[in-house]
Chains A and B, each alone.
Chain A
Amino acid sequence: MNALINSLIYGIIILLIVFTIVAYLTWIERKFAGRMQSRIGPYYVGKPHGWLQPIADVLKLILKEEITPKNVDKLIYNLAPFAVLTPSLLLFAVLPFSEKIIISNSSVGILIFLAISSIIIIGGFMAGWASNSKYPLISAIRGGAQIVSYEIPLLFSIIVPCLLAGSLNPLEIVKKQKIWFILYPFVGQISFLIFLISGLAEENRTPFDIPEAESELVAGYTVEYSSMKFAMFYAGEYAHLLALSGLGTILFLGGWKGPFLPGPIWFIIKSIILFLILLWIRWSYLRIRIDQLLKFSWKFLFPVSVLNLLLTGLIVILR
């Protein structure tokens, strides 16, 4: 009973914090991208740095008119945004913010994370099918193919720190990191790179954002949505990205360890730094074509990640 109330309180607090951070992640992205392109990001709302911009965006999205096309499949059309937002928020249940703050402490936390994050694409496919039009359908089909191909390298690169630490529990993985796993001689860096690339592909970010913001199919599978439902897709994407960065910090960058500041703040800072690296890659590269994407995954990433795993196994045995 006590543990249940504990989890409930932690759950509500973490949910509020996550919503605020997700709203301000859009502001960070626009400022950062603006500076890289020799311009200033948001400026007018809350001069001179535009820090009230996310509030203005949320108000605008709430007050817009909801337009539903005529021949859509009503049940699936209305359920699709929830199917994308809910798993993205559920992912925070298994990430530890510090030694004591974790909503659900289970011994297979990483497995639960991977299982939940694979459901998110089903929401995308529902959206693409239910909007009765060609362009969302083409983009949803491409999205499905892309995510299925990049699941396996992601899985193999996540297993490497679990092998080195010897358990699937996120708390144990952070406690066993005397030096951070990214600094491990050879397998650490390769796993980190594969994790970054597959994470970008899972997330539909450039250079792999084929389902989303195309030049031929104008906005991908969310093209028929407006107002609050579009906001849910948008927030779901950023929450998924933040959760992925959180997982990256736990596996490779040492979790909550650090001098002077308390644990949760270090966790949030490291997640945001990893998020900035993903942003930096997004705003520098062009977009890859769909058949080259699949060739890259099956012919290059898959063998490399398998070899990496074998090498890690060898190291663990010899230790």
Chain B
Amino acid sequence: MEVKRIESNGFEELWVNMGPQHPASHGVFRMQIKVDGEVIKEVIPHIGYLHRGVEKLGEFLTPVQFLPVLDRNDYLSSVSNEFPFALAIEKLANISVPERAEYLRVIAAELMRISSHLVFFGTFCLDMGGALGGGSTIFLYAFREREKILDILEKWTGSRMHLNLITFGGVRYDIYPGFDKDLKDFLKDFENKIKEYEDMIENNPVFLARTKKVGILPKEIAMEHGCSGPVLRGSGIKFDLRKAKPYSVYNKFEFEIPSFPDGDVYSRYKVRLMEMKESIKILRQAIDGIPSGPINSLMPLKVKTHIKLKEGEVYEAVESPRGENGVYIVSDGKFGLYRVKLRTPTFYNLSVIPYLLKGALIADVVAILGSLDPVFGDVDR
């Protein structure tokens, strides 16, 4: 973008472009920032660089064929994209799920939650530290832990990121012999490592000075814009779909919901750190109590018109690592779907950016954008 100089009252203001290709914008995202010295006056965001037309694809693919395509929405935690779709179709078609399958779904969801929060952790410090410097050290440590999770998932389902695990009536892959030993070894090692990383970052006065009292989001603005997930819990509201409207078998596990009242970048980071520890608790309880039995209640699929739905509409939502991930389906009684609408969390979380960036310094842009944890497959679908 050319430099437009606006001269008013003798001061000059510059338009700076943080373009779609940028080492710190977490994906393809363009922001036009009006800058006066170091202070930001106005922000115009542009999205839509990753639009693939997923909602239109849902109208001529049948539900069974649509499941692997939905995986690619929020590519960092793919189970939380298939989960609400499967729950919605099961509600419309009255299919029940055996208990072992529910436990396996919960284990996969919590493992992907830890993996997604580790990616947040690594890239947050990488943006603030620099690619050659302290940030990349923490980035590589976080990804070293994530590799162990992805190895476990690869031995279980065959694929590392796009699992294609959930299907209507249960799950598709059963656990292999030796799974619980692998998982328990990993959990024991991970608890010690989390303590190490927490010590390493929190005793660092540079980190505290850059994240406390920066990017404060008050409660009312967060509720007005429809934010959810750690962005909402970092502003003092204790709302989590796993406790407010329990789905699957989450009411059998004991865990807590962290929330902090300050609303700055530090509390959002802290909420995600405590959530990782709560996920470890849930995983321990789940792996100790898996019942035996079948993993699917329908016969395995043969043709693409596997499920026939009756007329109606339904909305189901799930707590993904970024917020409330929901699917709204309208079906007209034939083999396809009339309309699929995906309510993705990052689209609404990003809409507070013009409010948050007004009055901040340029060096704060990366910290604030990183703390909202955007994934642009979610925003553009």
Contact between chain A and chain B defined by CB under 8 Å:
yes
A273-299 near B? 1/0 per residue, CB < 8 Å: 000000000111111111110000000
Most buried by B among A36, A283, A291: A283
Interface residues of B in 32-47 (CB under 8 A from A): 38
In the assembled complex, which residues on chain B have CB atoms less than 8 Å from the CB atom of A39? 140
CB distance from A38 to the nearest CB of B (A): 6
Give Cα A207–Cα B140 distance, bound, in whole angstroms.
18
**Residues of B contacting A176 in the complex (Cβ-Cβ under 8 angstroms):** none
Smallest beta-carbon distance B307→chain A, Å: 47
Number of A residues with CB within 8 Å of any CB on chain B: 24
Residues of chain A contacted by B130 (CB below 8 angstroms): 206, 209, 213-215, 286-287
Are B140 and A206 within 8 A (Cβ)? no
Does any Cβ of B come within 8 Å of A37's Cβ? yes
Q: How many residues of B contact A (CB 8 A)?
A: 33
Contact residues of B: prevailing secondary structure: helix
Could you give, for residues 204-246 of chain B, a 1 whenever the CB lies within 8 Å of some chain A CB and a 0 otherwise? 1011011000000000000000000000000000000000000
Q: How far is the CA of A159 from the CA of B38 in the complex (A)?
A: 36
Establish whether residues A285 and B206, one from each chain, have CB atoms under 8 Å apart when the complex forms: yes
The residue on B at minimum CB distance from A296 is B209
Which residues from A are CB-within-8-Å of B125?
286
Cβ of A58 within 8 Å of any chain B Cβ, yes or no, is no
A134 at interface, CB cutoff 8 A:
yes
Does B366 lie within 8 Å of A215, measured CB to CB? Answer: yes
Q: B137 contacts A289, CB within 8 Å?
A: no
The answer to whether B137 and A36 have CB atoms under 8 Å apart is: yes
Indicate if B356 sits at the interface (CB-CB under 8 A): no
Contact B210 A216 (CB under 8 A): no
B98 at the interface (CB under 8 A from A): no
Q: Is A218 among interface residues, defined by CB-CB distance under 8 A?
A: yes
Q: How far is the CA of A264 from the CA of B130 in the complex (A)?
A: 36
Among candidates B14, B24, B134, residue contacting A216 with C-beta atoms closer than 8 Å? B24
Q: Taking the nearest CB of chain A, how far is it from the CB of B23, in angstroms?
A: 6
A286 and B204 contacting across the interface, CB-CB below 8 Å: yes
Do A287 and B135 touch (CB < 8 A)? yes
B299 — which chain A residues lie within 8 A by C-beta?
none
* Chain A to chain B contacts (Cβ below 8 Å), 25 pairs: A38-B140, A39-B140, A206-B129, A206-B133, A207-B134, A207-B206, A213-B131, A213-B132, A213-B133, A214-B130, A216-B362, A216-B366, A218-B23, A284-B137, A286-B125, A286-B129, A286-B130, A287-B128, A287-B133, A287-B134, A287-B135, A287-B206, A289-B361, A289-B364, A291-B361
